[in-house]
């Protein structure tokens, strides 16, 4: 646990703890302070992710990590290392959108905390700025850190053999996806439906009611079609271009709408057809609502994709083209096509995925297959709800085993690189701690933390 790593303390977690305890400053690093609520939030967050009893000195270890983070920020100020205001604003917007999605709507978030989104952003701004500065300083310190195959082997050999992790069965699985093209006739059906809805709004019907009833963006439909605030460039170009051309509503001094927001014409994006209203615009961000109608592929459209994949499967089995090359050239799934069609474990960066991390639908398919086989075209639903066909390729299976260099090189490589980066930051801290003022209250003197006293 002497690893220097930024522990993300959520603003929501700190806020709830501050409501339960009388907060106090437990450490100072130059002009930066560390609050007891920050330590408690990090401690509780860590406990929730652990199995079994925690180490006796866990809180001291976390305090050391948080203290080093404050030194990173203080040294960034000394060295004139900065993060752009736009970067902080962007991260604040991203987190607000996350909180809004979690709680259900912007109105519910503001009601819960009795503050506007802008006020909440201001509360969170110092924490976000510190996090971004910490990450930037760590990046500057570790940017040139590399590990060689020899380093990886040495790292593995020095690990106690009785502490090597045991991995369950791992699968290497790829997919090749072909979305069903939507015919012009099907698009016209969707467009006509939305034109009729638009006319009903122009005739006086309520946008909110119609969004709840008809919109096929089910996440926003229950919120009257409201997408909340987004920065420019975050939504697809056709939607954003149409939204930003609209006039937002006009309010009187009492906050009542005296002029309704302008309603867009029907516009098409990769997600379907939209009608849009602009609700607000603040600098680089804007808030809009929409009603989405998707053009649905027909049985004939799906059949075309199936026929294409069936022919491609034949070529792969004949050896005329490798599965990996076919996936890169023909698959419509951007997440896997760049990896030759293979699913990647996000925690390890490895193409072999533990049983428990494999998508259930994929697992139950692979469970009936032989290694090296490819399914015939199978119907699937894309994330956007559209229909597609796909081939599943079962490349390999690694049985349960204890970590070793042959089967788990990528995992061990990542662990070795992480340790070397942590050591680089620790060495930097040992050289730098005398350049800043560090003061810790006596309550934590038992932690034996390094100070300049």
23 is a domain residue: yes
Is pLDDT at 40 greater than 70 in this prediction?
yes
- In-domain check, residue 394: yes
18 and 61 housed in the same domain? yes
The answer on pLDDT for 9 being more than 70 is no
Answer yes or no: do 356 and 281 share one domain: no
Q: What does the pLDDT read at residue 385?
A: 67
Examine the domain organization and report whether 361 and 345 are in the same domain: yes
CATH number at residue 250: 3.10.50.40
Least confident of 44-48, 303-307, 347-351, 437-441: 347-351
pLDDT at 384: 63
Q: Of 6-15, 46-55, 258-267, 292-301, which has the strongest mean pLDDT? A: 258-267
If asked whether residues 221 and 144 sit together in one domain, one would say: no
Q: Is residue 318 in some structural domain?
A: yes
Domain range enclosing 417: 11-153+405-447
Asked whether residue 11 carries a pLDDT value surpassing 80, the answer given is no
Residues 37-42 have a mean pLDDT of 88
Q: What is the pLDDT of residues 352-383, one digit of tens each?
A: 898 888 888 899 999 999 999 999 999 988 76
pLDDT of 149 higher than 90: yes
7-11, 97-101, 240-244: which range is least confident on average?
7-11
Q: How confident is the model at residue 327 (pLDDT cuts 50, 70, 90)?
A: very high
According to the model, what pLDDT value does residue 252 have?
A: 83
Residues 361 and 410 in one domain: no
Same domain, 137 and 248: no
Phi, psi values for residue 65, rounded to 5°: -65, -45
> Structurally, how many domains does the chain consist of?
3
Higher pLDDT, 375 or 168: 375
158 lies in a domain?
A: no
Residue 162, in any domain of the structure: no
319/177 same-domain check:
yes
For residue 390, being part of any structural domain is answered with: yes
Q: Are 365 and 313 members of one domain?
A: yes
Residue 193 pLDDT > 90? yes
- In terms of domains, do 67 and 133 share one? yes
């Amino acid at each position: 646990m002497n690893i220097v790593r930024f522990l993300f303390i959520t603003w929501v977690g700190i806020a709830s703890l501050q409501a339960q305890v009388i907060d106090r400053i437990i450490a100072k690093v130059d002009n930066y302070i560390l609050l007891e609520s920050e330590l408690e939030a990090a401690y509780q967050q860590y406990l929730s992710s652990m199995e079994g009893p925690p180490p006796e000195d866990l809180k001291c270890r976390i305090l050391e990590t948080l203290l080093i983070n404050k030194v990173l920020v203080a040294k960034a100020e000394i060295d004139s290392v900065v993060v752009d205001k736009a970067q902080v604003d962007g991260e604040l917007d991203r987190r607000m959108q996350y909180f809004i999605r979690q709680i259900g709507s912007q109105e519910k978030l503001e009601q819960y905390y009795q503050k506007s989104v802008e006020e909440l952003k201001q509360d969170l701004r110092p924490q976000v700025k510190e996090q971004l500065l910490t990450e930037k300083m760590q990046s500057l310190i570790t940017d040139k850190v590399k590990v060689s195959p020899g380093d990886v082997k040495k790292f593995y050999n020095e690990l106690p053999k009785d502490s090597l992790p045991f991995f369950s069965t791992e699968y290497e699985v790829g997919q090749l996806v072909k979305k069903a093209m939507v015919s012009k006739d099907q698009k016209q059906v969707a467009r006509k439906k939305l034109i009729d809805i638009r006319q009903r709004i122009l005739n006086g019907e309520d946008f909110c009611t119609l969004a709840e009833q008809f919109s096929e963006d089910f996440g926003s439909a229950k919120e009257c079609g409201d997408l909340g605030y987004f920065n420019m460039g975050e939504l697809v170009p056709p939607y954003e271009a149409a939204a930003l051309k609209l006039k937002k509503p006009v309010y009187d001094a009492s906050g009542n709408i005296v002029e309704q927001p302008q309603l867009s014409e029907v516009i098409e994006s990769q997600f379907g057809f939209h009608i849009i209203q602009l609700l607000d615009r603040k600098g680089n961000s804007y808030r809009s609502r929409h009603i989405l109608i998707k053009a649905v592929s027909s049985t004939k459209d799906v059949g075309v994709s199936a026929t294409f994949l069936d022919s491609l499967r034949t070529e792969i089995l004949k050896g005329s083209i490798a599965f990996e090359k076919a996936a890169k050239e023909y698959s419509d799934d951007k997440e896997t096509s760049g990896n030759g069609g293979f699913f990647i474990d996000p925690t390890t960066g490895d193409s072999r995925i533990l049983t428990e991390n494999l998508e259930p639908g994929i697992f139950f398919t692979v469970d009936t297959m032989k290694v090296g086989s490819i399914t015939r075209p199978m119907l699937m639903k894309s994330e956007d709800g559209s229909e597609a066909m796909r081939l599943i390729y079962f490349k390999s299976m690694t049985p349960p085993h204890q970590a070793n260099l042959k089967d788990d090189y990528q995992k061990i490589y990542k662990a070795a690189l992480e340790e070397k980066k942590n050591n680089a930051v620790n060495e930097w801290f040992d050289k730098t701690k005398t350049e800043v003022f560090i003061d810790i209250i006596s309550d934590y003197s038992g932690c034996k933390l390094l100070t300049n006293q």
